[in-house]
């Protein structure tokens, strides 16, 4: 992929297809879903004549449920904790 294409690849309506054969929205929408919807990253690495790799990084969130046991005669409460993995 030429550098000029790489610079525009995630822009809405950008396409390398002939007129009328592509909307140019696929990668733009994918970028928005990954970055805005999931707080992730969508990047592209390319070497002209060799190949192109799209890299998707999405943060992993883990929900854990645990019980806090309170002394006899009191109630048991359940809590949800979200932990962002590093």
Do the Cβ atoms of 69 and 60 come closer than 8 Å?
no
Question: 52 is written with which tokens?
Answer: 């192109």
Rounded CA-CA distance 56/9 in Å is 15
* pLDDT score recorded for residue 31: 93
* pLDDT score recorded for residue 79: 47
pLDDT in tens, 36-67: 988 899 999 888 888 888 899 988 776 666 65
Structural domains of the chain in order of their starting residue, each with its CATH number: 3-57 (3.30.565.10)
Helix (H/G/I), strand (E/B), else coil: 60 = coil
pLDDT in tens, 73-84: 655 455 444 555
pLDDT greater at residue 68 or residue 56: 56
pTM > 0.75: yes or no = no
Do the Cβ atoms of 54 and 31 come closer than 8 Å?
no
pLDDT in tens, 10-32: 999 888 888 888 788 888 999 99
């Amino acid at each position: 992929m030429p550098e000029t294409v790489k610079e525009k690849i995630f822009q809405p309506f950008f396409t390398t297809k002939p007129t009328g054969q592509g909307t140019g929205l696929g990668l733009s929408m994918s970028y928005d879903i990954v970055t805005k919807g999931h707080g992730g990253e969508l990047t592209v690495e390319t070497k002209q004549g060799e190949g192109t790799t799209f890299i998707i990084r999405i943060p992993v969130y883990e929900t854990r449920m645990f019980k806090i046991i309170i002394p006899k005669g009191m109630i048991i409460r359940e809590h949800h904790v979200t932990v962002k993995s590093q």
